[in-house]
Amino acid sequence: MMKKAVMQFTACCLAVGITFSSFGTVAFADNNRSMTLAGLSETSTVVSSSSTTLVGLSETDTVVSTGGAQGATTTVETADETSDSAAEISETDTDAADTTVDETADTEVGTDTAEAASVETEAQTETEAVYDTSLSGELAFAQCENYINVRAEASADGEVVGKVYNNGSVTILGQLGDWYEVQSGNVTGYVNAAYFAIGEEADEIAEAVAYNVATVNAEGLWVHSEASEDSSTIGMVYSSDQLEVVSYEGDWMKVVLEDGTYGYINAWYVSYDTYYSTAETLEEEQERLDAQWLAYLAEQEAEAAAAEAEAAAAAEAAAAEAAAAETAAAETYTETYTDSSSTSSSSSASLSEAQAAVDEAYQTYLEAQEAADAATQQADEQLVYDTYDEAVAAYQDYLSAVAVADELKYSAATDTSTSTTTDTSSSETTYTEAAASTETTYTEAAQTEAAQTDTAQTTSTEAAATTTTTSSSSSSSTGQAIANYAVQFVGNPYVYGGTSLTNGADCSGFTQSVFANFGISIPRTAAAQASSGTSVSLSDIQAGDLLFYSDGSGISHVALYIGNGQVVHASTSSTGIIISSYNYRTPVCARRYWS
């Protein structure tokens, strides 16, 4: 409507000759006449040189005529000012609007930023673990195969400060994510919560692994056999004594005494404490391991000392047994010789009969000795002892036969049988010479069976007696050194397949180890040793030579000759390493390795 009214007003102005410039000036066609403009009020007249109120203008909108017929202009100052004010207002409104928009935009952006920051804070809060103390003071138990590490931080990369072993206890201080902060023994740190039992499960474990201790408060307290004052007493415990509690039964506790005896004490007179296994620091662990290692070493030393003492006692017992056996044999020989001499002096037995008895007894002894040697190759220990006893008995019979024959020979030669019977020293010397001559006779017979005659036997007997004396006086220093070294192991055990001079060796293992001490290498078996080295005639043997014996099918035994008609050898498992007469069995050959 406003626009339409303005257009009507403009048309009226044009009809009466009023025009408007771009500067807001009103020109009149005739300045000398007054007029009333259509659409204006009666009081709104336009006159030259006077103010005119125009329709549509406010009472303060004055039109001023500047005069002049042509191009007269009237400046609407108030309108211009109003227009300027309106423009300023418009600019102000625009600025205000812009400011409002900017502020609104800023407010919206700020709100978005605040919301984003809030979301980020919430996300950060969700990722950061919160320290929870709801389980503080609760007892937990490790459940693992061996142990769980306690770390300085709640991380698998944290430094290890201690260890909790399976069923070990910890007190929870708090929880940080998947980790418990715990205290146990002298250790404080973090453990993985997945490996610890809490709640009812922990209660069950606690009951199973608890170590309960009763500390006696009374000056003296009876220990009863039953949970009753009327039961018998089995001991007494005293103030501050600590006892392991097996069970708690009403007013009575079942306890274990120092000697392992179970008994009952009145619970009213003791204090009761429960202990659980706790963690240990790395230093405590090292101290414990060191103590265990030292205890192990001490135990090993004690076992070694006990074994050594046992071996020494066994060797001593074996030596004593051997000495007793020799003494008994000597006594038996003396008695037998005396009895035989007395009998022979009063009997008419001929020398040939006595010699036949010697041969038969010796053959019996050889068979018994072979049986004893064969028994050592079997696992039947009783058989070894039985065959050994039979061999000893056969040897004693042989000695008795030799003594009888010896006495007859001596009586025939000197016709003084009585003095021979009473002179023990002379009898023993005669026995040695006779035994040597007899054994040599069998040796030479075995080597030269085709040429065996009575004359050869007599010659061999004389040669053997001479050899015994010669070999003892002409032994080389090297051979004698070997012999002297070997005899120090007498009394040590015989072990089949062994080569130890102290812990046990068989016959060839013994000789091999003796020679090895002098840097001399010889074969391992008796048969191989008999086929190596330098062959030596049995009539020329010296200390340090090896003598070999046969079981009829091959070489079965080896001994080391030490002079004076004796050998040292690893005999049997029942006798060990002993010294024997060189011809206790018939040697079939000799070998020398030291020259």
Which residues carry out catalysis?
507, 557, 569
What token pair was written down for 340? 């035989």
Neighbour count for residue 559 (Cβ, 10 Å): 28
Spatial distance between the Cα atoms of 109 and 128, rounded to a whole number of angstroms: 28
d(CA 545, CA 590): 7
| 320 touches 363 (CB < 8 A) | no
Provide the H-helix boundaries in 347-380: 351-375
DSSP characters over 39-104: TS-TT--B-TTS-EEPTTS-TT-EE-----SSS-----HHHHHHHHHHHHHHHHHHHHHHHHHHHH
**Exposure letters 49-76 (e unless 16+ CB within 10 A, then b):** eeebbbeebeeebbbbbeeeeeeebbbb
CB 403 within 8 A of CB 344: no
Length of the chain (residues): 595
Residues 191, 193, 195, 197: what is their CA dihedral angle, to the nearest 10 degrees? 120
* Interatomic CA distance for residues 292 and 144, integer angstroms: 23
H helix or E strand, kind and range, residue 394: helix 381-414
The dihedral formed by the CA atoms of 133, 136, 140 and 144, expressed in degrees to the nearest 10:
30
Angle CA 495–496–499, to nearest 5? 65
Q: Which residues pair with 53 in a beta bridge?
A: 62
Look-up of token digits 């002297």: 484
Farthest-apart Cα atoms in the chain, separation: 219
d(CA 358, CA 404): 9
How far is it, in rounded angstroms, from Cα 161 to Cα 149?
A: 8
Residue 112 host element (H or E): helix 77-127
